[in-house]
A = this chain, B = another copy of it.
Amino acid sequence: MPSTPLLAASRVLDLAQPLPLDCGLSLSAVSIAYETYGTLSPARDNAVLVCHATTGDQHVASPHPITGKPGWWSRMVGPGKPIDTDRFFVICANVLGSCMGTTGPASLAPDGQPYAMRFPVITIRDMVRAQIALLDHLGVDRLHAVVGGSMGGMQALSLAAHWPERAARAMVIAATAAMPAQNIAFQEVGRQAIMADPDWQGGAYYGTGRAPDAGLSVARMAAHITYLSEATLSAKFGRRLQDRESKSFGFDADFQVESYLRYQGESFIERFDANSYLYITRAMSYFDLAEEHGGRLAEAFARATARFCLVSFDTDWLYPTENSRDIVHALNAAGLPVSFMELAAPFGHDSFLLEVPALDRVMAGFLSQ
């Protein structure tokens, strides 16, 4: 059910100060592209920061400027919706390292040339540092809530752990406190596909008229499989053929699932920068919230003040329920208030983006507590 696009305020914040990074460097002249919906209350206590996933963007509930599609969480964010813009001041920023207006590898370095692979390797915490700079600019000392699914959930965890006064609530959906080995592996395949493409040119493809489209497309195809459940693929496509009565005995996309995947790869390259994909997946593979605490996750939350709500999906094999349960155990050990639900949903990891009414109810309920 398409809804009327919300009137989103789209802005870009240019940071006056260099942004310090986990790698030890600082990044100067950082821009943060963001949108806001609704009105900040006089007490400045109704702000909800929505953090997007790997290839998401700030257009959480406004049409995507390239594809024209509705915002990626239009079903969740809007007037009367679970993240109610009549009530909350909703903020969503493009993450550091991405390509939709926030500084990333395609941005110009101080020498006037694109950073390309000179861009420093960033972390999830670096992304959150940029979010915090934005909150400072907006005058939001303490969020009503920070909310995110997948990589967005990792940012929510990082914010609640590392900036413990900045959020009263953290809603963490289909996420993990440390990237599992299997997904490190899948992400490495994606990066190798990009870097093996001769058009990648060591990352310096900007302005050459060539880009590693083929490699980026393969990376997206591989990742896309991990976002869906086998049940979804079977139900949606099974072994059905695409626009033909019988197999072609060739290498065209005979099966619907092949055609669908190719489409996913081809449409992705129109809206996403390959180097951003490298940097963002690298940040995810580096994510391990317990690492600085000798593997003791509870200690990462020692100073946290937020109430937490964790949600996993029973068909999510990318970040399965046990990943969320590990976080819940750590929060319990840290004495923090946490609610946790494994929701039944057929769509695999992507369930957080799709029609799962139970998630809407959990979200609305948690934000109202």
Contacts and interface: CB of A to CB of B under 8 A. Distances in A.
Interface in A171-218: 178-182, 184-186, 188-189, 191-193, 195-198, 214-215, 217-218
A181 B288 contact: no
Contact of A180 (B195, B196, B197, B234): B234
Interface string A212-228: 00110110011001000
Given A249-B120, A251-B191, A181 B278 contact: no
Interface stretch (A33-41, A66-74, A136-144, A255-263): A255-263
Interface string A223-264: 001000010011011110000000111110111011001100
A9 to B, nearest CB: 35
Contact of A261 (B189, B248, B288): B189
A265 interface: yes
A282 interface: yes
Interface of A: 22-23, 117, 120-121, 178-182, 184-186, 188-189, 191-193, 195-198, 214-215, 217-218, 221-222, 225, 230, 233-234, 236-239, 247-251, 253-255, 257-258, 261-262, 265, 278, 282, 285-286, 288, 317
Contacts of A233: 180-182, 185
B191 A239 contact: no
A285 to B, nearest CB: 7
Given A192-B262, A249-B23, A182 B218 contact: no
B179 A239 contact: yes
Given A184-B258, A186-B225, A217-B192, A121 B250 contact: yes
A154 B186 CA distance: 27
A221 B192 contact: yes
A237 B247 CA distance: 41
A181 B257 contact: yes
Contacts of A121: 248-251
27 contacts: A22-B249, A23-B249, A121-B248, A121-B251, A179-B239, A180-B233, A181-B230, A181-B238, A181-B257, A182-B225, A182-B230, A184-B258, A185-B257, A185-B258, A186-B225, A188-B253, A188-B255, A188-B257, A188-B261, A189-B222, A189-B225, A192-B221, A192-B262, A196-B214, A196-B215, A251-B278, A317-B317
Nearest to A290: B239
Nearest first, the 6 A-B pairs at minimum CB distance are A196-B214, A181-B233, A121-B249, A23-B249, A182-B230, A188-B258
A267 to B, nearest CB: 14
B178 A239 contact: yes
Nearest to A240: B181
Given A186-B225, A193-B193, 14 more contacts: A22-B249, A121-B250, A180-B233, A181-B236, A181-B238, A182-B234, A184-B239, A184-B255, A184-B258, A185-B257, A186-B222, A189-B222, A192-B217, A317-B317
A180 B221 contact: no
A204 to B, nearest CB: 14
B189 A221 contact: yes
Contacts of A185: 221, 225, 233, 257-258, 261
Contacts of A247: 286
A190 to B, nearest CB: 9
Given A189-B222, A257-B185, A239 B197 contact: no
